[in-house]
C-alpha cells in the first residue's frame, strides 16, 4: 500500500530582507500582518529547492492501482525544485 502526501505551499515574495534569526521573526517578516489567530493550526516548513524533489502531478491519478509502475514513473519524473523552476521559465519564455 502506498501513501502519497502532496503538499502545496505558497512561497512569499518579499522585496525586503527576511529576518532568519528565529522562527517567529522569519514568519513575521515573510508574512507581514499575520495575526496569531491566522497562524494557529498551520505548520511552517522551509525547503531547500536544490534538495527538494518534485514529481509530475498526474502519476497518482493515472497509475494509482499499479504500485510498481508508480515507483518507475516517480523515478523518471523526479527533479529538484530548482531544475523544475528553470524548466518552467524556459517553457514560458522560449517555447
- Residue 17 has a pLDDT of 79
As given in the structure block, the three cell numbers for residue 27 are 514568519
Query: For residue 78, what are the contacts with CB-CB under 8 A and spacing of at least 6?
Result: 53, 54, 55
- Residue 3 has a pLDDT of 45
d(CA 90, CA 84): 10
d(CA 60, CA 67): 9
- Domain range for residue 16? 11-46
SS3 76: helix
Supply the pTM of this predicted model: 0.51
Residue 25 lies in a domain: yes
Do 53 and 41 fall into the same domain?
no
Do 33 and 65 fall into the same domain?
no
| Total structural domains within the chain | 2
- Residue 55 has a pLDDT of 82
| For residue 64, pLDDT beyond 70 | no
Residue 6 lies in a domain: no
| For residue 95, pLDDT beyond 60 | yes
Do 94 and 53 fall into the same domain?
yes
Do 30 and 72 fall into the same domain?
no
Amino acid at each position: 500500500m502506498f501513501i502519497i502526501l502532496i503538499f502545496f505551499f505558497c512561497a512569499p515574495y518579499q522585496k525586503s530582507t527576511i529576518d532568519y534569526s528565529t522562527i517567529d521573526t522569519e514568519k513575521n517578516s515573510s508574512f507581514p500582518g499575520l495575526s496569531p489567530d491566522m497562524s494557529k493550526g498551520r505548520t511552517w516548513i522551509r525547503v531547500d529547492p536544490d534538495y527538494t524533489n518534485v514529481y509530475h502531478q498526474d502519476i497518482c491519478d493515472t497509475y494509482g492501482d499499479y504500485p510498481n509502475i508508480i515507483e518507475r514513473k516517480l523515478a523518471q519524473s523526479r527533479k529538484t525544485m530548482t531544475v523544475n523552476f528553470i524548466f518552467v521559465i524556459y517553457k514560458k519564455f522560449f517555447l
